[in-house]
Structure 1
């Protein structure tokens, strides 16, 4: 059965660490695909906020 795992972090390195930790428990052949997205938002007072997210599709 194909499953998905969603990740959402404010920092790129945090996302990388979380995904690598998750993937370390899977075999290579279990991974179907990984989708990656970045969103940038401007808050009040010109503060820019980034959202790094990914979806890992895998076979359980």
Structure 2
């Protein structure tokens, strides 16, 4: 059965760690696809907030 796992982090290193931990429990043939996205949101005080997200499609 195909499954989806979503990840959403404020820092790219956190996303990398969470994904590596999850992917470590899967076999290489279990992963179908990985989608990656970055969003930047400007704040009123000229500070930007980043959102790093990914979706893993895999077979369970």
TM-score bracket for the superposition, by shorter chain length: over 0.9
Q: Per the alignment, in what secondary structure is the counterpart of residue 45 of structure 2? A: helix
Aligned to 1:43: 43
Alignment of 1:16-55 (within 5 A): 16-55=16-55
Higher helix share goes to which structure? 1
Aligned length, in residue pairs:
60
The TM-score with structure 2 as length reference comes to 0.98
Extract structure 1 runs of 4+ deviating beyond 4 A. none
Structure 2, gaps ≥5 residues long? none
